[in-house]
Homo-oligomer: A and B are copies of this chain.
Amino acid sequence: MRDRPSPPARPATRRVALAVDVVTLSPRDDALAVLLVPSVAGARERWALPWDGPRDGERLEEAGARVARAFLGTAPTLVEQVGAASDGRRHPGGADVSIGVVALSPLDDDAPASGSGAAWFPLDALPPLAPRHRDIVERAAVAVRQRLDHSPIAFRLLPATFTLSDLQRIYELLLGRRLHKASFRRALQGSFLVEPTDAWRSEGRGRPAQLFRFAPKKRRHASRSVRFDLSSE
């Protein structure tokens, strides 16, 4: 006989203290960097992800965008959820449940608002963080890499116009490996995602590079073959 418990008599919501924790990512010094803010006095860790509770009528992504904006000075170019965490009480603000949110900020932005004390840290050299914040950063990094194919993530980490070498550098940063120039451009060519502008950028030595802009053309979804990429890390 199967073990078959009866359904709950009547479901009920639970009142919890909620926070939106924001992982702001931006390419800084040839590495993906996370924006961290100083902890409140008395916390165990010196740094934390910026966070806040959602305000009245505010959706979760909106709250994430607001928090990121407060420290960036400009609105992030993309905001996406990366999962909710509820694993005990290891949140700096004592939240029962955290909604993890990743916000992207392009390369050309100013440094974080001075006075806020916020600072960029490379993803692979983070200071000690509260365990839940470390989890959320990890999830954000994984989510960004996994959605790279389906979300215009790379373009949101670049200014409005960029060179193809810039774009390739972002992809290499996110994927963590070098790409071949010709192959990269051939694939990009076939995707109809960018269009050339009539501007060129001369940057010190070397031949000037043409500037492109992100301008995806509508096209039929390519019927890709099945991939078995579990790779059971």
What is the interface of chain A, defined by CB distance below 8 A to chain B? 2-8, 10-19, 37, 40, 50-55, 57, 59-60, 67, 69-71, 73-74, 81, 83-84, 86-88, 93-97, 99, 110, 113, 115-116, 118, 146, 149-152, 171, 175, 177, 179, 183-184, 187-188, 190-191, 193, 216-233
Contact = CB atoms under 8 A, between A and B. Distances in A.
Contacts of A188: 228
Given A59-B86, A229-B150, A13 B18 contact: yes
A5 B60 contact: no
Nearest to A109: B2
26 contacts: A2-B73, A4-B113, A7-B71, A7-B116, A7-B118, A13-B18, A13-B53, A13-B94, A13-B96, A14-B19, A15-B18, A84-B99, A149-B228, A149-B230, A152-B230, A177-B223, A179-B226, A187-B225, A187-B227, A190-B228, A193-B228, A216-B230, A216-B232, A218-B232, A221-B233, A222-B231
A180 B70 CA distance: 52
Contacts of A18: 13-16, 18, 97
Given A5-B69, A67-B8, A150 B230 contact: yes
Nearest to A177: B223
B232 A93 contact: no
A202 to B, nearest CB: 27
Given A193-B230, A227-B187, A70 B7 contact: yes
Q: Count chain B CB atoms within 10 A of each CB in A60, A93, A97, A118 and give the residue with the most.
A: A97
Contact of A54 (B86, B150, B193, B217): B86
Given A60-B84, A187-B228, A218-B232, A74 B2 contact: yes
Nearest to A189: B228
Contacts of A221: 229, 231, 233
Given A14-B53, A16-B18, A18-B97, A149 B86 contact: no
